[in-house]
Amino acid sequence: MNSLDPSLARRRQQRLAHGAVSRAIGRGELVRPDVCTACGDSDRWIDAHHLAGYDPQVRLLVQWVCTRCHPLGHRRAGVAT
């Protein structure tokens, strides 16, 4: 049987999505901005928040948010961080 625990499967999809964003940044396909698109802060690290989930078709659909705003986006969406 090859079924994964749903939480393990989700974590695997997250890792794959994070890797896809990192590779896209390295290739110049995505550019990490210097400011948070949610609050305008430029003093914090800017994360890629996956807006539409972690499926391969939407892995690069991200919003660039600071480390303070990123968890807030997950809470609003009802997703555990």
Q: Where are the domains of the chain?
A: 6-77
On the question of pLDDT at 77 being above 90, the answer is: no
Degrees (nearest 5) of the Cα angle 51, 26, 69? 35
Q: What is the pLDDT of residues 10-65, one digit of tens each?
A: 899 999 999 999 999 999 999 999 999 999 999 999 999 998 989 999 999 999 99
Helix (H, G, I), strand (E, B) or coil at 64: strand
- Residue 46 phi, psi (nearest 5): -100, 125
DSSP letter for 42, please: -
